[in-house]
């Protein structure tokens, strides 16, 4: 069983597609595609079914700035 290679994931390439997932959890495949989402981690995970083949991210509110 192979795991997702997080080095293949580039959230910047998802661009405006992330807007529809604001404040939600998303599951991103190794092919850099959103394959599931939910208001909670568990809800998103249930929609995907196999956490070993996706990377899970929480899309933050898009009306705030994040600084290191």
The per-residue pLDDT for range 13-51, each reduced to its tens digit, is 888 889 999 999 999 988 889 999 999 999 998 998 877
Query: Which of 1-5, 6-10, 23-27 is predicted least confidently?
Result: 1-5
pTM of the model as a whole: 0.81
pLDDT tens for each residue of 44-66: 989 988 777 889 999 988 887 76
CA distance linking residue 19 with residue 2, whole number of Å = 30
Residue 14: enclosing H or E segment and its boundaries? helix 11-14
């Amino acid at each position: 069983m192979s795991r997702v290679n997080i080095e293949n994931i580039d959230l910047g390439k998802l661009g405006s597609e992330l807007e529809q997932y604001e404040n939600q959890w998303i599951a991103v495949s190794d092919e850099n595609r959103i394959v599931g989402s939910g208001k909670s981690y568990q809800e998103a995970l249930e929609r995907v079914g196999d956490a070993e083949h996706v990377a899970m991210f929480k899309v933050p509110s898009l009306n705030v700035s994040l600084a290191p």
